[in-house]
Structure 1
Amino acid sequence: MSLTAILASGLFGLLALALAAGFTLKGWHGWLELKKLELASGSPRQDEPTASPAGGRIELADLKERVRKLEAIAAGIDL
């Protein structure tokens, strides 16, 4: 393989990498802008479930149970 071919393939690879990085960066900035708009609007997203009061109590009870188990493990008590 000649030096010109090696140099050309290296430059092509570098150009491809730079283009991929540029497109990825543009997509990242777009995603960040979308998240900023979602936060500024203050409305919940469509895929987020709305929490009911009963669901909050169940979640709190679950967390208390987890804390109780962790405290028992820390104290060396087998459950």
Structure 2
Amino acid sequence: MDPITMAVLAASVIAGLSAAAWAGLKAWNGWLDLKRMELQQNSGDRTLPPASGRIEMADLKERIRKLEAIAAGIDL
């Protein structure tokens, strides 16, 4: 093999590896952006539940209190 062929072959291998590395880094950055968006979206869900959920929770607590009173024999 002559030196020109070896140089062209080496340059094409380096170019191919560079393109593959660049594509991999772009994919990695895209995946990281996706995970960042998921984390931001999940942190927004940690707020108080809607009013209907709080009302339902209060209703359930009241029903539990009444059932416990019935079980204890206390007349409400």
Structure 1 ranges of 4+ moved more than 3 A: none
Question: Unpaired runs of 5+ in structure 2?
Answer: 46-76
- What is the CA-CA distance between 1:26 and the residue it aligns to? 0.1
Q: Which residue of 2 aligns with 1:33?
A: 33
- Distance (whole Å) between structure 1 residues aligned to residue 16 and residue 2 of structure 2: 21
Equivalent residue for 1:20?
20
Task: Give the distance between the partners of 2:3 and 2:22, measured in 1 at CA.
Answer: 28
Are residues 1:7 and 2:3 paired?
no
Distance 1:24 1:8 in 2: 24
Q: Which runs of 5+ in 1 are unaligned?
A: 44-79
- The root-mean-square deviation of aligned C-alpha atoms, in Å, is 0.9
Shift of 1:12: 0.2
Structure 1, residues 18-58: CA drift from partner, whole Å, max 9, x if none? 00000000000000000000000016xxxxxxxxxxxxxxx
How many residues are matched? 43
Taking every aligned residue pair, what percent have the same amino acid on both sides?
A: 33
Greater helix proportion: 2
TM-score, with structure 2 as normaliser = 0.55
Structure 2 Cα separation of the partners of residues 39 and 22 of structure 1: 26
